[in-house]
Amino acid sequence: MLKGIHSFLKRPGKTIKQLLKSNGSEPQSSPFELRIVSRDEHPLSRSNVSDSALKVLYRLKKANYDAFLVGGCVRDALLGLHPKDFDVATNATPEQVKSLFHNARIIGRRFRIVHVRYGREVIEVTTFRAPPAEDSAKSLASQSEHGLLLRDNVYGTINEDAVRRDFTINALYYNIADFAIYDYADGIRDIQHRCIRMIGDPETRYREDPVRMLRAVRFAAKLDFNIEPVTEAPIRPMASLLRQIPAARLFEEVLKLFLSGQSVQTFLLLKEYRLLEQLFPYAAEQLQSQPHKEQFIIKALESTDLRVAEDKPVTPAFLFAALLWPVVQKAFVELTQKGGLPPVPAMQQAGQQVLAAQSDFTSIPKRFSQPMREIWEFQLRLERRQGKRAFQTAEHPRFRAAYDFLVLRAESGEKVQPLADWWTAYQESNHSGKRSLVLDDVEINSEPVKKRRKRSRYRNNKPQHDRNIHE
């Protein structure tokens, strides 16, 4: 996989001092030794880059701005992976970038970036950033008393921008002007050693943005890399800093964690570094007291990874429904056994309670929370198969997701295997076979129904005044 990398790792490349000297400039101070890897020394080609990203790069270049592919897309291409997202870094300000593209808009306040949209593809364009200076205006850069970056819009050079990157493997820039890779902080060598290493002091960088702890775990799981010991050491003691991050942002981060195709390994790493209890505290509590519940979540994550590998659609609703199922089960039992509620209202109330509590940590949009509740409530509805109910249930838009959920429950050891087998047989049968299954189920499960006494037509149609006389 890294055959193309090994060949040029042995070459020294040009350092930043050599580059500046060749351009007739005086060397500037920098914490990095820049290695420039020429086009014939690396495997990254423009054929690996999306047409939309190339359009952005070339238009910036034509307007006499610097234009680089940066970060994950360069890293993944060097690893032989197929990048899905392409990020661009430039010395043009957000306003200058927007003026070049009619299909662009500036987003964000904490980090001002530009999204350039081509159909469904979005190219993210960022301006080179510099470390916040002491005299920076508060509107450009500010930090909380705990070190959390509240705003970071001080622009600088590419050298300063590299300092602001989180990990060495992300401080890689592909220059559209000469097709070379500009490697800061020895990122290529860390790729070769399959190592996640923080740029700068890890504790300081985690305080600036605690989400970097989640990113370290995500890259370790996605790339099958190890987290370097110095980078790893502060994660457990500093995990609680994630509580400073808005719940809406953490929802987006959870999607990245679990929809990358390595959700099982991600889940295990989140547990290992005590990050799961910051994202899903009630689920983590249930898994600690009832470890066997974890098997269901693992099964659900394996199913998610398989669908991602097969390029099938994955809905976050199913994923979140699985992660929170142990919590819903606990609430359901309390409401039925201690609260005395009937099963259906108890399940509805359990779902509402769990979603309300979870929203304090990772907010879940209604377009996902509503299907989650339906999946949970359908677990009771699938038990009712008499008469027309089975036919109506099978026609419901949420049936397939609820059935898949039921099968995973059975596979993880919950005592619902007969019910899962019945619904499997029902779906595999023709119309007459389905009727037979329903009839058999009625004979086995239904109790005799007392016939209602038919009311006399005469009595029902009797004039009101006559009924009053007889009464």
For residues 49-66, give the mean pLDDT. 95
**pLDDT value for 254:** 95
pLDDT at res. 31: 54
How far is the C-alpha of 101 from the C-alpha of 95, rounded, in Å? 10
Please give the angle made by the CA atoms of 334, 339 and 340, to the nearest 5 degrees: 115
Token representation of residue 146: 């705990």
Q: State the average pLDDT over residues 18-40.
A: 58
pLDDT of res. 243: 93
pLDDT tens, residue by residue, 59-104: 999 999 999 999 889 999 889 888 888 999 999 999 999 999 999 9
**Catalytic-labelled residue, pool 166, 209, 305, 441:** 166
pLDDT tens figures, 301-349: 999 999 999 989 899 999 999 999 999 999 999 999 887 899 999 999 9
pLDDT band at 24 (very low <50, low <70, confident <90, very high): very low
Q: Is the pLDDT of residue 42 over 60?
A: yes
Domains parsed from the chain with CATH numbers: 288-445 (1.10.3090.10)
Quick check: 262 and 221 in contact, CB under 8 A?
yes
Q: Write the pLDDT tens digit of every residue in 257-266.
A: 999 899 999 9
Most confident of 31-35, 133-137, 442-446: 31-35
Predicted confidence at residue 442, as pLDDT, reads 59
Residue 51 annotated as catalytic: no
Confirm whether 441 is a catalytic residue: no
Which tops the pLDDT comparison, 17 or 201? 201
Say whether 161 is catalytic. no
Query: How large is the average pLDDT for residues 51-63?
Result: 95
Q: What is the pLDDT of residue 132?
A: 64
| Higher local confidence (pLDDT), 26 or 364 | 364
Instruction: Give the residue among 67, 65, 37, 63 at the shortest CA–CA distance from 49.
Output: 67
Which pLDDT score, from 0 to 100, does residue 124 have? 94
Backbone angles phi, psi at 144, to 5 degrees: -75, 170
Instruction: Confirm whether pTM is higher than 0.75.
Output: yes
Q: Which of 76, 87, 152, 183 is catalytic?
A: 87
pLDDT tens-place string over residues 376-423? 999 999 998 887 888 888 899 999 999 999 999 999 999 999 999 999
Dist. CA 409–CA 293, nearest whole Å? 10
- Whether the pLDDT of residue 6 is over 80: the answer is no
Q: Which residue has the higher pLDDT, 9 or 359?
A: 359
Residue 180, phi-psi category: left (phi > 0), alpha (psi -120 to 50), beta (remainder): beta
Residues 6+ apart with CB under 8 A from 323: 280, 283, 297, 300
